[in-house]
Structure 1
Amino acid sequence: MDYSLQNHRSFIGSKVTDLPTPSFVLSLPTIKKNIERLHQDVGKAGVTLRPHVKTLKSLEVTRLMLGNGKYKRVVASTLSEIRGLLPLAEEGILEEVLYGLPPPASTIPLLEDLRKSTNVQLMIDHEKQLTIVETFAAKNTKSTIKPWDIYIKLDVGSKRAGLPLGSDRLTKLIQRVNGSSAVTLKGFYCHAGHSYGCRTPQEVEDLLTVEINNVLSAAKLVTGDRKLTLSVGATPTAHVVGTLKAAIPENVTLELHAGNFPTNDLQQVATSVIGAEDQAIRVLSEVCSVYPERNEALINAGTIALSKEAGPDPGYGKVVGKPDWAVVRMSQEHGILGEVQTPGSKTAEPERRDVEANFDVGDKVFLNVQHACITAAAFYVYFVVDENDVVVDTWIPWKGW
């Protein structure tokens, strides 16, 4: 049993450096600031918001992302997340949950059971997925079985799930959905996951335009003036939604989906649409040993605590307050702090580049992480701190699938 899971509430009121290591630390002021900024941006842009709950997977942050009921729909990647969200549905804060990947056949009965508590919607990109839903409906003729709301997933360049605009399979799938009594076409969904590769705000804005043009073009493939919801986004493109200038037809609701925006990470900083100060996550680790002969130190945060996600910033985690130092190698439970090249590091004073001048055995070290979503998944407790780095709350995430 994880020690922090048994004793997490006992740390409320403690300084963050008194936490066990490694620990997952969240800045509540930064989270609130990041969420409020996106709420303001979507309001100015005249679009609605569908937060993705995959990053922190907890009731507390989901409530904040939804504005305590201002927005009433989310995306979820796992059944565990949907089950965890049900208290918000009972409160009336949450009304729609989109299952965020084409559903495996084995999940349909489980998702149907969850529909008793909230409106669970499906995302599809293949005719056989529709056949699976239709077959399930035919075998379960209870009056409680109602048509599923369906979003058709478009591929706008990420090459994950989805059909490209112009594909014959997209046209056929729309026709099949329109002719099915088991489903109702709710709209189209795309996700610009490749926006993480952007390096300037203009590149991100251009990709948001591509997303919007794709869903608008797909909507034109649907006959009549049916009301549709067009869902676009990823956290990088969400950060520039305030630049939106597209003309939206009256029968269309444009919504933005994003999940990483409350926390951000080094990958987000690399897109240049946020600053380093917008990162709400740190991993607290501890220096276990120092090796001056190779100018490195060992900490108790490795692959499990940090993940092996990489990014434009060198290393797997960046030491907060020491820009020339990062986790340069890892094993399962330990990482190696080493010197990395940054602007100005070659001309920096020698002390800035010397391991013994920067780290000692027993030191507590904070790390910014490359990918918040993957790092968060490793921890059973999130320690929430205020502006003075005092623990004010603990959040327990939903685990598993």
Structure 2
Amino acid sequence: MTDILSQYKGSTIEDLPTPNFIIDEEKFDRNCTTMLNNIEKLSQECDVPIKFRAHVKTHKTAKGTFKQLGHGLPLAKRITRAILVSTLKEAVELLDYQDRQCLDYIDDISYSLPCCVSEFIPLLSNLSRRVNNFQVFVDNVEHLENLKKFGKPASGKKWSIFIKVDMGTNRAGLACNSSEFLSLLKRLTSPDIKEVVEPYGFYAHAGHSYSSTTINDTQALLMEEIKAVNSAAKVLCSVDPEFDASALTLSVGATPTSNSLKLDDKSTLVRLITAELIGKLEVHCGNYCMYDLQQVATGCVQDYELSGFVLGTVLSSYPSRGELLSNTGVMSLTREASSIKGFGICVDLKQVLTSKEFSREWYVARVSQEHGILKPIRNWSETTLLKLGTKFAVLPQHACITMAQFEYYFVVNSQGVVTDVWVPFQKW
């Protein structure tokens, strides 16, 4: 997208076409730095190594990923080389970009979708050659049989697997007290499977933490995640008493639960990690670099911490029904929702780059393909009316889904001037 950058570099937000997605780089950097430093602080408080794995699925860009790893962040107190991807394309494109730039930032990749079936195993095998550590996800006995049938991956090592633990969201994974989970572990420890597969660890994601309303709630769910993977590791040790549990990685996280590390009082969490954990703790999350209204609804972040927004334009006005028309329809905002009503909160461009609570006067009440209907949060007569042609920011409900609607993102500095264009590795 060098042509886009050459055309718009140095332009202000007001000069950009709409609808488009904007990233406030200063806030993005701050969010990445805060998460890395919170993990480092927890590690110091526990006096044990705690790994961080950055999920890149929200923005899917190389430059954003490198920031998540800690590069280019002078205040970050640690660097990580581990990422989590939601598509194989993310992994391949990131490694290709890294090679072209002669960089060596990423050396540990987990592919978060349990997909050890014949269509994908050869692709997973090829990817295993490109990094020192590569983990696939397993939550079905047949996955093990498929890996055994294929044999060792192209790396020449054994398949390194994360076993996915279901935290009750019924999306993927197995409950560690289920018969299916026990059957999986028994097969995992059989001699013929051991020849080609080795457990890397257990992985849990508290997806239901997105419905939390306080940061204390999310801390409780973080501890539930840790207890779940720790229990899973104990089951493995009961199946195979000779297994060295200390070698297992116990990976937990979601942006809400990871955000609970901002709390000053982590004494109960620290005791859990230091006194009960039988493996090595890893924290993973991804949305934190951007944030969105779903995260604001959890009570863990403020609206001004969001580092991205959709830029839209007011197109028409309907005073008799108290509504405005914009070009921020479903194709730019999607239909994601949260306890915050509407499909996005509108913010004045003079406010959106600041770091203080935003004034909320308008929200996107309805969307169709290209139409976004704005309604005032209060009465029409009490609201500052937006003139036709006015450009405004929309805070999205779900950044990961919203950003997938755009083929590139304008990156701006704190003055709203375009400094870069980031291109995501979208689709599959």
* 2:273 equivalent to 1:247: yes
Matching residue within 96, 106, 129 for 2:108: 96
Instruction: Tell me how far apart the structure 2 counterparts of residues 250 and 239 of structure 1 sit (CA, whole Å).
Output: 21
Alignment of 1:11-22 (within 5 A): 11-22=8-19
Q: Which residue of 2 aligns with 1:374?
A: 401
Q: Which residue of 2 aligns with 1:275?
A: 302
Matched residue type, 1:237: T
Q: Deviations over 1:303-342 (max 9, x none)?
A: 11011001111110110145131111111112111123xx
Instruction: Tell me how far apart the structure 2 counterparts of residues 15 and 41 of structure 1 sit (CA, whole Å).
Output: 33
Deviation at residue 70 of structure 1 after TM alignment: 1.7
Alignment of 1:143-292 (within 5 A): 144-179=155-190, 180=193, 181-223=195-237, 224-226=243-245, 227-242=247-262, 243=266, 244-245=269-270, 246-248=272-274, 252-292=279-319
Deviation at residue 142 of structure 1 after TM alignment: 8.5
* 2:120 equivalent to 1:111: no
Secondary structure of the corresponding residue to residue 189 of structure 1:
strand
Matched residue type, 2:170: K
Give me the TM-score of the superposition, normalised by structure 1: 0.91
Q: Which residue of 1 aligns with 2:65?
A: 62
State the number of aligned residues.
Answer: 385
Instruction: Tell me how far apart the structure 1 counterparts of residues 136 and 308 of structure 2 sit (CA, whole Å).
Output: 31
Q: Indicate conservation of the 8 Å contact 1:31/1:280, yes or no.
A: yes
Change (3 A) 1:85 1:178: farther
Q: Deviations over 1:172-196 (max 9, x none)?
A: 2122222212211000000011100
Q: Indicate conservation of the 8 Å contact 1:381/1:394, yes or no.
A: yes
Give me the TM-score of the superposition, normalised by structure 2: 0.86
Secondary structure of the corresponding residue to residue 288 of structure 2:
coil
Q: Indicate conservation of the 8 Å contact 2:126/2:154, yes or no.
A: no
Q: Deviations over 1:227-277 (max 9, x none)?
A: 010000000001013533223468621011101001100010111111111
Deviation at residue 40 of structure 1 after TM alignment: 1.1
Deviates more, 1:302-311 or 1:145-154: 145-154
Deviates more, 1:275-284 or 1:217-226: 217-226
What are the ranges of 5 or more consecutive residues in structure 1 without an aligned counterpart?
none
Instruction: Tell me how far apart the structure 2 counterparts of residues 145 and 132 of structure 1 sit (CA, whole Å).
Output: 17
Change (3 A) 1:265 1:37: same
* 2:366 equivalent to 1:329: yes
* 2:81 equivalent to 1:81: no
Deviation at residue 145 of structure 1 after TM alignment: 4.0
Deviation at residue 222 of structure 1 after TM alignment: 2.5
Instruction: Tell me how far apart the structure 1 counterparts of residues 98 and 106 of structure 2 sit (CA, whole Å).
Output: 5
Instruction: Tell me how far apart the structure 1 counterparts of residues 116 and 406 of structure 2 sit (CA, whole Å).
Output: 27
Matched residue type, 2:402: T
Alignment of 1:341-360 (within 5 A): 345=378, 351-353=381-383, 357-360=384-387
Secondary structure of the corresponding residue to residue 235 of structure 2:
coil
Matched residue type, 2:106: L
Q: Deviations over 1:191-214 (max 9, x none)?
A: 011100000111111111110111
Deviation at residue 103 of structure 1 after TM alignment: 0.9
Instruction: Tell me how far apart the structure 1 counterparts of residues 155 and 321 of structure 2 sit (CA, whole Å).
Output: 67
Instruction: Tell me how far apart the structure 1 counterparts of residues 70 and 160 of structure 2 sit (CA, whole Å).
Output: 24
Change (3 A) 1:395 1:337: same
Secondary structure of the corresponding residue to residue 261 of structure 1:
helix
Q: Indicate conservation of the 8 Å contact 1:5/1:381, yes or no.
A: no
Q: Which residue of 2 aligns with 1:71?
A: 80
Stretches of 4+ moved more than 6 A in 1? Answer: none
Q: Indicate conservation of the 8 Å contact 1:156/1:192, yes or no.
A: yes
Q: Indicate conservation of the 8 Å contact 1:66/1:72, yes or no.
A: yes
Change (3 A) 1:142 1:171: closer
Q: Indicate conservation of the 8 Å contact 2:138/2:144, yes or no.
A: yes
Matched residue type, 1:83: V
Deviation at residue 285 of structure 1 after TM alignment: 0.6
Q: Indicate conservation of the 8 Å contact 1:352/1:358, yes or no.
A: no
Instruction: Tell me how far apart the structure 1 counterparts of residues 273 and 187 of structure 2 sit (CA, whole Å).
Output: 29
Instruction: Tell me how far apart the structure 2 counterparts of residues 60 and 154 of structure 1 sit (CA, whole Å).
Output: 31
Q: Indicate conservation of the 8 Å contact 1:58/1:84, yes or no.
A: no
Matching residue within 353, 372, 375 for 1:338: 375
Instruction: Tell me how far apart the structure 2 counterparts of residues 103 and 21 of structure 1 sit (CA, whole Å).
Output: 38
Instruction: Tell me how far apart the structure 1 counterparts of residues 37 and 29 of structure 2 sit (CA, whole Å).
Output: 12
Instruction: Tell me how far apart the structure 2 counterparts of residues 19 and 83 of structure 1 sit (CA, whole Å).
Output: 31
Q: Which residue of 2 aligns with 1:300?
A: 327
Alignment of 1:123-134 (within 5 A): 123-134=137-148
Q: CA RMSD in A?
A: 1.9
What are the ranges of 5 or more consecutive residues in structure 2 without an aligned counterpart?
44-49, 72-77, 238-242, 349-358
Change (3 A) 1:49 1:88: farther
Q: Deviations over 1:11-43 (max 9, x none)?
A: 111101111101100011101111111111101
